[in-house]
Amino acid sequence: MRETDPHRPPADPIAEGARARNQGRPRDACPYPLNSPERTEWLEGYDGIPADRAPDGPLDKG
């Protein structure tokens, strides 16, 4: 059986960003340096969308 520390943040930057948002931390609380892949992943987790994906367009009401 594996023991996990609930206070230790996840090693995955995407999960870490999602956890930060869930805990009410601000977006600028990202611990990774500017222009790093880890920062991009952290922000993807925080925002809940992949950085390389275009925003969804409006739904047609037809």
pLDDT at 37: 94
User: Is residue 43, in this structure, part of any structural domain at all?
Assistant: yes
Cα–Cα distance, 4 to 35 (Å, whole number) = 31
Each residue's pLDDT, cut to its tens digit, for the chain (62 residues) gives: 455 566 665 579 999 999 999 999 999 999 999 999 999 999 999 999 887 776 667 777 65
Q: Which range marks the domain in which residue 32 is found?
A: 13-47
User: Is residue 18, in this structure, part of any structural domain at all?
Assistant: yes
Would the CA dihedral through 14, 16, 21, 27 be positive or negative?
Answer: negative
User: Is residue 5, in this structure, part of any structural domain at all?
Assistant: no
pLDDT at 52: 76
pLDDT at 55: 64
Would the CA dihedral through 29, 14, 53, 56 be positive or negative?
Answer: negative
Provide the token pair at 41. 């992943």
Helix axis angle, 13-22 relative to 37-47, nearest 10°?
40
Cα–Cα distance, 26 to 37 (Å, whole number) = 19
> Is the pTM value of this prediction over 0.75?
no
User: Is residue 19, in this structure, part of any structural domain at all?
Assistant: yes
User: Is residue 2, in this structure, part of any structural domain at all?
Assistant: no
